[in-house]
Amino acid sequence: MKEMYINEGDFKPDNRSSIQNPTGPKCYKRGFYVLVILSLGLLAGIITLALYYKTCPAGWSMFSHSCYLLSGRSDSWHSARKNCIDQGADLVVIGSPEEQNFIASFTEKRTWIGLNDIEQEGTWKWVDGSPLTLQYWASGQPDNHHLREDCAHIRDPGTSWNDERCDDSYQWVCEKVL
């Protein structure tokens, strides 16, 4: 006959009833916090993408890092510039051959650009204050005809520039840098 000994000091009763229910209130709280943290992370990601991948407003066209809008009407150079500024933009500053080609691709009439020599005759500056470096003047331009031509426009069919009186009425292109 075998004898069995039980060491009562090491014996611990199976007390599974004291283990908390995994679907109890603490589990729901933990799940809620995890859900809130994941939602905040997703929101931060969406905001970051929206800031990084900016888009143009409706009706504007994107090229490189700017949005462009061809006006639907004609006005003076100063009124055109005011219209652009009122829309959070300015008259276009053409800074590359690619940008010149892009602008020329959708201008079919004479179109104001953000270039003038209003401050000092013969010193052409863009509306952002930068000096003129890239030039697409038509042959014999700028000529300051009758000493009154201080604003630049794209000639039709859109491949070259001309100086003109600022109070003449042309369509214009606004540029909004992203």
pLDDT tens digits, residue range 124-178?
999 999 999 999 999 999 999 888 999 999 998 778 999 999 999 999 999 999 9
- Length of the chain in residues, anyone? 178
Four-residue CA torsion sign, 118, 123, 126, 129 = negative
The whole-angstrom separation of Cα 116 and Cα 132 is 10
More confident residue, 28 or 3: 28
The domain segmentation of the chain, as residue ranges, is 24-52, 61-177
Q: What is the tens place of the pLDDT at every residue in 88-116?
A: 999 999 999 999 999 999 999 999 999 99
Q: Quote the pLDDT of residue 24.
A: 64
The answer to whether the predicted template modeling score (pTM) of the entire model surpasses 0.95 is no
Q: What is the tens place of the pLDDT at every residue in 12-29?
A: 555 555 455 556 667 778
- Considering the four listed CATH numbers 3.10.100.10, 3.40.50.300, 1.10.1660.10, 3.40.50.1580, the one that applies to the domain covering 61-177 is 3.10.100.10
Angle, CA 81 vertex, CA 78 and CA 83 arms, to 5°? 110
Pairing of strands 161-164, 90-91: unpaired
The whole-angstrom separation of Cα 72 and Cα 172 is 8
